[in-house]
A and B are shown apart, each in its own frame.
Chain A
């Protein structure tokens, strides 16, 4: 669905459809698409014993409205998405890196982030040689 509607829909899911438990928020990166990111909200309702996935697509650099006001648990989950994919959530109380160190370059779970980059860079800077990996 359209990314501008997401917040409204989440709000409605929470209050009208009683999906009171936000299981997970995550993202998937499709570098070849124009809207590069899939943001996935997995919700669960204790009342209906049902699980729902809500997906939206956004472009790189586009912002989303935070879901922290709807579910407190979204706090760390959104921080992780920000950390791993660089997706900014507007209105998030404390949007900063969570798993990676503060000074980390890049967002590791993007598909264009090579798995050996960090290692090679470290070897080059600290040992002054090309990494053999």
Chain B
């Protein structure tokens, strides 16, 4: 019974999901209440998690871990989940997806992510992954009347199920060669490279790469991002990345840590391929959601570069990158949510034309966020890249550093193109300005954070310095 206290957040979340479901089913017009309470429960959860002690605790026969990494990542998940819900509220209300299931499914996937983040065992990990993925399939297809949304859901389901299958096969191989599903036991039994075990690792990496949308397993990303409702896209672009990167870190540096020579080259390849494709493929896009999809792929490539290094500093730089990435993308999607004329949402980049004339403040925030995404100092995006390259160069991987920085220049081009459209082109009809305070506040918050991060960049480094895996 002692151990129950450690999974209080997860228990609370499950209870909240179930009771909110009841409320939603039995109370007429319950969607407002459900929505409000799901947002409140996220805040409560943050308090619960921050209350946990910061010593490492393993429970349930060492299959579930609560440590600095999991606490940090869970808090990150909750904070950004909260802001995504707030920011997308306006969009959800204006399209026909304002159903009571919507926030509940988001909470369910959050629960799945919690399990993934804390998993220390292949089985728990897989359970969490499936819970999260199944919720995401539904979310992608949430706009039932829209063919594109359905297509996105189906596409995501088919490909993701395949990836899950690969993951499961890899896990079974690992289990077969090490005799355990526990991460620590696997690490102890996996001292040298056996062909079967390496196969297992490759399958697991492929499965994970799919979930993080790394090249060459990225094909679903642009289509799903474009097809899904924008509120869901923003969720996809932010929240599942946190859990997936955490699991990536956990897998590489706990069970497979002794085989670093084997997987390092794979991670390097994934990272470089994603950086290049993310930079090049986004250039020709006209739909801003598709463009954000490619931009996400590129950013995940940079995040992974820190992981490939094989040092604690590398891991920490990945986490910092992820955090800053989340803040920037929250802002970017808030801007996309504001692309609305007479309650119709626009997605083409050219619809932003002349934004600076009609909406100077919105244009300015977008400007900051785009320059930050491009990694131009002194904005936060630069520091994200800076930390990554610090650790990459420490490991003397100069080729990776040079490729990474050159792709930064290439990707700067398409961010600049949006800025050009916003600032240099002729203005079109103004957008609606009737967004609610949630959207406004998340945009203001993220752009201010991005803008003033340079004043004291140690904040994040101090926060992640306690995360020591390796």
A and B: bona fide binding partners: no
Contact residues of A with B, CB < 8 Å? none
